[in-house]
Structure formats: structure tokens, C-alpha cells
Amino acid sequence: MTQADAQRELWDARYSHPNNYYGYRPNDFLVTAEVMLRRESRLLVLGDGEGRNGVWLAQKGHHVTTVDLSVVGVNKAKDLAIERNVSVDAHVGDLATWLDEPAAQGPWDGIVWIFLHLQPQLRQSVAQTLTERLAPQGKLIMEAYTPAQLTLGTGGPSDEQVLMTRERVLADWPGLDLDVRLTERRIFEGMGHQGLGSVLQVLGQRKKG
């Protein structure tokens, strides 16, 4: 079994719960950051799981494409979109290969990256590829756990290599002007994130020229 297959099985099992594992409300940081997006933006939401963020963005009037490794999660995202009477272009895909698909080509007015924790080589490759697909002045909205999260036990991965630091963000996205903030905040997102979290929050914009 490949690492991707193992991850797919893990997320399929997690999302098989009758309720949404990370709840039904959008991520708090995304809600505050959405105002930086122009109206009716074309957005790519990575690792959107059961669709809480992508569907909310569609409710705000954006044109949303989402992708997740888990077919269970994507099916729940599609159901949530129908329930809320919006259209979301939801795909099952491994980012190691999905970015070659026609649906991933862009140009994108915004990339949304919420609690998506990838191995360094893949993370850097995804960032490099999507920087080139951002429209002029296209935006990045990211929230991720930092290595300090390992001591808190309130959610997130256990592998330090996939957690985010300021240095990693700056190295991954050299083509963007970045505002990177580290903070602790209380996170209440379904069963998956409960309690005080150490997070890195990023607002980015593609550099001119």
C-alpha cells in the first residue's frame, strides 16, 4: 500500500462518521480573510474535506473548485452544497497528480489552504505550481498548525515535518507578498479541532511583474 493509499483510507474512515468530523461552519480565519477577495472570485480550495469551507465560499457568491483525497469527504461536500443550494466543482484527487488535471489549471483569483498539512516536497511543489496559476494580484489564504501544536493535543498531525513555520511559508511562496502571523487561538471545529491551538495565519498576494 502506498502512502497516498494509506492516507486515503485514514480520511475515508474519519469522514465516514454520520456528522461532519470538522463540523459544518467555515474556518474562523477564512471568514475574517474573505473580505480581501474580490466579489465572484474564482477560487481553488485545497484539502476541503467535507466541504465546509468551499460551500461557504460558494454561498458568498464565489466560483469554487475544491479537491480532497477522500471520496467520502468529497461526496459529503457535494451533498452539503446541494443542501445549501449552491454549486461547487468538487473533485477527488491526490495533489501529487491532480494539479495536472484540466480542472486545476486556473488562473485562480485565490487559493484557500486551511489545515492542509503536506510532506515538505509535495507542499513546495504545490506552492510553486499554484503561484504560477494565480491571476495578477491573486490571493492566498492559509491557516495551519505550527510545531508548538504538538504539545497541546487539540488536533492536527503528529509529524513535525508537515507543520508550518514562518520560514517554511516564506520559502514555499517566494512569488507572493506575504503577511505571516503566529498566534494561539481557541478552535472549535466539530470533533477534529477542540481547544487552544497554535496556528500560523497567512495572507498572500501574487507579486506584480
Helix 3-15 to helix 71-83 angle, to the nearest 10 degrees?
A: 40
The count of other CB atoms within 10 Å of the CB of residue 7 is: 13
- pLDDT value for 11: 86
Spell out the domain ranges in the chain.
3-206
- How many angstroms separate the CA atoms of 24 and 190, rounded? 7
Contact 104/98 with Cβ under 8 angstroms?
A: yes
Residue 9 has pLDDT above 90, yes or no: no
Q: Are 20 and 43 in contact (CB under 8 A)?
A: no
pLDDT at residue 190 above 90? Answer: no
What is the layout of strands, in order, in the sheet containing 176-189?
88-92, 63-68, 42-46, 108-114, 134-145, 193-206, 176-189
Percent of the residues in the chain that have a pLDDT greater than 70, as a whole number:
99
- Tens of pLDDT along 109-118? 999 999 999 9
CA distance 7 to 159: 13
| pLDDT tens readout for residues 151-171 | 998 999 999 999 999 999 999
pLDDT in tens, 64-111: 999 999 999 999 999 999 999 999 999 999 999 999 999 999 899 999
Q: For 13-71, what is each residue's pLDDT tens digit?
A: 889 998 999 999 999 999 999 999 999 999 999 999 999 999 999 999 999 999 999 99
DSSP code of residue 156: S
Report how far residue 24's alpha carbon sits from residue 55's, in angstroms, rounded to the nearest whole number: 10
pLDDT of residue 209: 67
Is pTM, for the whole model, over 0.85?
Answer: yes
Q: How far is 67 from 74, CA to CA, in rounded Å?
A: 8
Eight-class DSSP state of 35 = G
Compare 6 and 4 and report the one with higher pLDDT: 6
40 to each of 61, 94, 135, how far by Cα in Å?
5, 27, 14
Distance of CA 10 to the CA centre of its chain: 18
- Can you tell me whether residue 93 is helix, strand or coil? coil
β-strands 134-145, 108-114 pairing: parallel
pLDDT surpassing 80 at residue 1: no
Q: Which CATH number fits the domain 3-206, given the four candidates 3.30.465.10, 1.10.760.10, 2.40.320.10, 3.40.50.150?
A: 3.40.50.150
Name beta bridge partners: 110: 43, 139
Q: Is pLDDT larger for residue 191 or for residue 139? A: 139
